[in-house]
Amino acid sequence: MRTTHTQLAGYDSVTCAKKRTQKQMILDLFYSPFLTLTRQEISDRTNMRLSSVCGRIRELLDDEALKVRGEQKCAATGVMNETIGLPAEVKA
């Protein structure tokens, strides 16, 4: 099945709107500059698929809206996971 340019444009506009909404949902979790969460914790709190969370986190890291703030050991697997948070304020 072939798609038309109109169908692709419609899909792209919905996809972009959905990405913006997902990014805002993630940003809304970080109400404090001291709060850090793993990608799995973000997925659990937003009810978003982990793959979607990972994609939106990558975009937010690239935009410098969020920053990798450390690591935390997963209680279930023992694997170290990055913790994500708001960028720390730089004091002069």
Look at residue 91 in the predicted model and tell me its pLDDT: 45
- Ranges of each domain in the chain: 5-85
Nearest to 54 by CA among 13, 84, 86: 84
| Tens-digit pLDDT string for the chain (92 aa) | 555 666 545 545 546 667 778 999 999 999 888 999 999 999 999 999 999 999 999 999 999 999 999 999 988 788 999 999 999 764 44
The third-level CATH classification (topology) of the domain covering 5-85 is: Arc Repressor Mutant, subunit A (1.10.10)
State pLDDT tens for residues 56-82. Answer: 999 999 999 999 999 999 887 889 999
pTM (predicted TM-score): 0.75
